Amino acid sequence: MKKVVKLMLLVAVVFGAWSFTTTDKLMDNGYKIGDVVADFKLENIDGKMVSMADFKEAKGFIITFTCNTCPYAVAYEDRVEALNKMYASKGYPVIAIMPNNVEVKPGDNMEAMQERAKEKGFTFPYLMDKGQLVYPKFGATKTPHMYVVEKTKKGNVVKYIGAIDDNYQDADAVKNKYVEAAVNALLKGQEVEVKETKAIGCSIKV
């Protein structure tokens, strides 16, 4: 399985258009560290509408823009699931959002999302950004693209933007777990040390 994933990643790297398109420009207009995130209401794979406001007891959120069809996103699925199991009970649940245009990527349609979530046993909401209205606000350009936000009196504040960790090819070879470090710091009431990294993944399809 690891060989298959690595082969898929190699193909994605060779076809650089997957990783670099005009969507990269959106990041300049998206949320920055310290910005307050506007809530959203998106359809989950169970047909229910989900927003951050639904999580009354949450201290913050780990938001990932991801999909079914990107090899990078697939390579990170287990790590995203692990993040939810590690932090949801501590107040930082994962919310996954699929941002691609399904006419361009039919493998990311709602039925495919439902099948993938069932196959992988996702324990987090997997929402569709229908109309592609949410990801531009965040400035997301890749799948996966991570945002850690903290719930404060003034709203949900962005504390980290970027990659999950520093090795998309091999989870066992990771040296820096950026999302984990950010959430751990926030749980301790500390400043996030590494606030931004470069998201590595496929371009969001418009």
Q: What is the pLDDT of residues 158-193, one digit of tens each?
A: 999 999 999 999 999 999 999 999 999 999 999 999
Query: Is the pLDDT at 7 greater than 80, yes or no?
Result: no
Closest by Cα among 165, 98, 174 to 135: 98
Domain carrying residue 43: 2-203
Tokens at residue 37, please?
């995130």
CB 110 within 8 A of CB 141: no
Has residue 107 got a pLDDT over 50?
A: yes
Beta pairing class for 60-65 and 94-98:
parallel
Distance CA 16, CA 103 (A): 21
Token digits of residue 145: 């693209």
pLDDT digits (tens, 9 = 90+) for 191-202: 999 999 999 999
H or E stretch covering 199: none
Number of separate domains in the chain? 1
Say what the pLDDT of residue 1 is: 52
Residues 22-51 have pLDDT tens digits of 344 444 689 999 999 999 999 999 999 999
CA distances for 160 relative to 13, 43, 101, 118, 197, angstroms: 25, 25, 26, 29, 8
- What whole-number distance in Å separates Cα of residue 32 and Cα of residue 158? 7
Question: What pLDDT score does 11 carry?
Answer: 44
Q: What is the CATH number of the domain that holds 27?
A: 3.40.30.10
